């Protein structure tokens, strides 16, 4: 038996992408921004992400940066040696 998942559209108007596996699959095209923001979060205690309403800040943090930080943290937990401490990412207003 095959499971069927119905997806209407990758863009969800003003609803941000979340932290689910489905959202991670549908969140693409912002790899460069995700890597830059992730590097900033790991390197600095304070990282500010700003921009006009509706440009995808929350989606970038939830579906991009938070997932990437967790992936990196899981790799470090396997024993890759010392490295930058990975902190939780908190989204204000989301």
Q: Residue 6 domain-assigned?
A: no
Q: Residue 35 domain-assigned?
A: yes
Longest alpha-carbon distance in the chain:
48
Q: Residue 54 domain-assigned?
A: yes
Q: What pTM was computed for the model?
A: 0.63
Question: Nearest to residue 42, comparing CAs of 88, 90, 93?
Answer: 88
From residue 59, alpha-carbon distances to 31, 48, 56, 77, 83 in Å are 12, 15, 5, 26, 27
Q: Residue 30 domain-assigned?
A: yes
What is the number of domains present in the chain?
Answer: 1
Give the domain extent around 39.
Answer: 21-77
Taking only the tens of pLDDT, the chain with its 94 residues reads 566 555 555 555 667 888 788 888 888 889 999 999 999 999 987 989 999 988 889 999 998 998 898 888 877 654 445 555 555 556 655 5
């Amino acid at each position: 038996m095959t499971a069927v998942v119905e997806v209407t559209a990758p863009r969800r108007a003003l609803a941000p992408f979340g932290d689910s596996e489905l959202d991670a699959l549908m969140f693409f095209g912002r790899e460069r921004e995700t890597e830059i923001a992730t590097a900033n979060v790991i390197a600095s205690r304070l990282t500010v992400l700003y921009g006009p309403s509706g440009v995808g800040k929350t989606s970038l943090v939830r579906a991009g940066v938070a997932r990437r930080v967790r992936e990196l943290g899981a790799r470090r937990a396997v024993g890759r040696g010392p490295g930058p401490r990975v902190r939780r990412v908190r989204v204000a207003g989301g």
